[in-house]
Amino acid sequence: AQSVAQPEDQVNVAEGNPLTVKCTYSVSGNPYLFWYVQYPNRGLQFLLKYITGDNLVKGSYGFEAEFNKSQTSFHLKKPSALVSDSALYFCAVRDDDRGSTLGRLYFGRGTQLTVWP
Amino acid sequence: EAQVTQNPRYLITVTGKKLTVTCSQNMNHEYMSWYRQDPGLGLRQIYYSMNVEVTDKGDVPEGYKVSRKEKRNFPLILESPSPNQTSLYFCASSYLRGKLNNEQFFGPGTRLTVL
């Protein structure tokens, strides 16, 4: 069955330090992987995606994510965190196996990132 | 401005009173979807549509209906709302172009309270 796990409900880092938000997934075919960010009282905004090709994907606001097929992971990273990065982050996966779940998008439970000054 | 709009943004209603949350996009997207967001559960897909007159169930379709009569609109209908449908609802849309790897654009959300 398709699923996404974000093992950490909260991640706290100091400004200027590197940050990692973890995501693992399970699909039957090949994954299309996405990261979205949600600021307070706002809808979700797209950050980056992995379709195929380079395992390191670069996205908006200096974020990047590393796809690891053997570990079925797609961790979100940033070399130097900003206070303004504080938000709720969601990982999502879509399965390219064109079966009964075609079109479905599966989200993790979200990770609250807090960057303190 | 390219956007997904939802109305109303906030709604308080009572059990059993039918309601509709509208969703409209101006980007000519084929794909549209509804999600609900609950604390500790993340986003769960309710229904989605790959094109006009084509809709499919997501993870949590019970108690909801949708229709896709026009490309730009995808209303969410609660025929008989119950308190367990109190939630934050998001509509989203994306291009398909024969692929499923396009990112979605989200609306601002509708906070629904069912008493």
Measured CA distances, A30 to A51, A69, A95, B59, B99 (Å): 9, 9, 6, 20, 13
Chain B CB contacts of A36 below 8 Å: 106
Distance CA B72, CA A7 (A): 36
The tens digit of pLDDT for each residue in A41-99 reads 888 999 999 988 889 999 999 999 999 999 999 999 999 999 999 999 999 998 877 66
Measured CA distances, A102 to A34, A71, B60, B106 (Å): 16, 24, 16, 20
CB A107 to CB B43 under 8 A?
A: yes
Instruction: Give the pLDDT of residue B17.
Output: 96
Instruction: Give the pLDDT of residue A4.
Output: 94
The tens digit of pLDDT for each residue in A65-74 reads 999 999 999 9
Q: What token pair was written down for A98?
A: 């064109």
Instruction: Give the pLDDT of residue A100.
Output: 59
CB B106 to CB A43 under 8 A?
A: yes
- Which of B101, B102, B110 to probe by mutation at the A interface, max A CB count within 10 Å? B101
| Res A6 pLDDT > 70 | yes
Give every residue of chain B whose pLDDT is below 70, as ranges.
none
